[in-house]
Structure 1
Amino acid sequence: MKSKPDRKWFGYTAFVLSFPYPMLKIYWSLGGTLGGGQSFSQHSAYGEILVFGACALLSLALVQKWGRIFPRWVPFFAGKKIPRFILITGGWVAACLTVPMGFLAIFGYLMQAIGLADGPVSFDGTGLMVFIVYGEWLLLGIALGGATLAYQHQTRVKCVKCGGI
């Protein structure tokens, strides 16, 4: 009988890809100017940092055994198994939010670069930063989707009536 290939690398890849964007936002919030910088006088980067931190935790929860049990500090659920649908829904929602955002930004960048559309991106270091940042979002979404799909296959339960999956 053939064993199923281990697809944990999707989750670990998603974990690693969850850090460049928030780290760039932290750098900019501290006054960094690489890639154009950004002013945080009107808003902060906290929301984006929290969202990508949640992506990092979710990506590990999909591939680690500890990620399937609520931590002790969670009221009423401490030590109990996390329902499968929560991880699956979270994984697909995160993937479905990051893939299109990354794809559309890269598509717009390329259309502007070849002259088929006008857009807000300048083609100096700032434009390249946009391409890199949103390319990372696209890869993050693909990795999260892969980790979620692998988790679904790994945790699939057998049908009580027919014995199939």
Structure 2
Amino acid sequence: MTKIVLTGGPHTGKTSLLEAYARFDPTVVAFPEPASVVLAEHHGEKGYSVDELIANPEQFCGACLEVAHRQHQSVADDSIAVFDRGVADTIVYAQMAGLDGIADRAAQSAKIAAYDTVILCEFVGTYGERFETIEQAMEIHQRLAQLYKELGIRTITMPDVAISERVGILHQIVKQAPKG
């Protein structure tokens, strides 16, 4: 199996790229961002508001880690999987929230995840409405870049270009990715 992660700070176009690529190449298994899955599951099924979830970062990060585990366990041996954020992303968010226990759990999971390639997406256009300020987003981005480098995973920078160009770049990366 081949595992590719799209990462970067908030508002770097990861989700848009993943959705566009999934339409371009439906043979690739595309996994949504764990935080989006958690928000949808807890808001829809359990009736929590987004504010309630965000107010408890330990519960939120723990739930994101559980979703990431489920995603990784569902990858077939012969497939190519592209993830909107990797397990290591949870480490950065947990560290920034002072959640060392979650960060340690995520660090162990990141080793097990065994990603082949990480694509660090650069910021796109203007910075729209987000939970984070632009300064926080830039710090997250820098921490992610450093962490994946420390993990020794091949990292490629995705430039701020049109989505169609990003899809083409991602397609070349998928074609050349090591087959784990």
TM-score, normalised relative to structure 2: 0.29
| Higher share of residues assigned strand | 2
| Higher share of residues assigned helix | 1
TM-score, normalised relative to structure 1: 0.31
Which structure would you say has the larger Rg?
Answer: 1
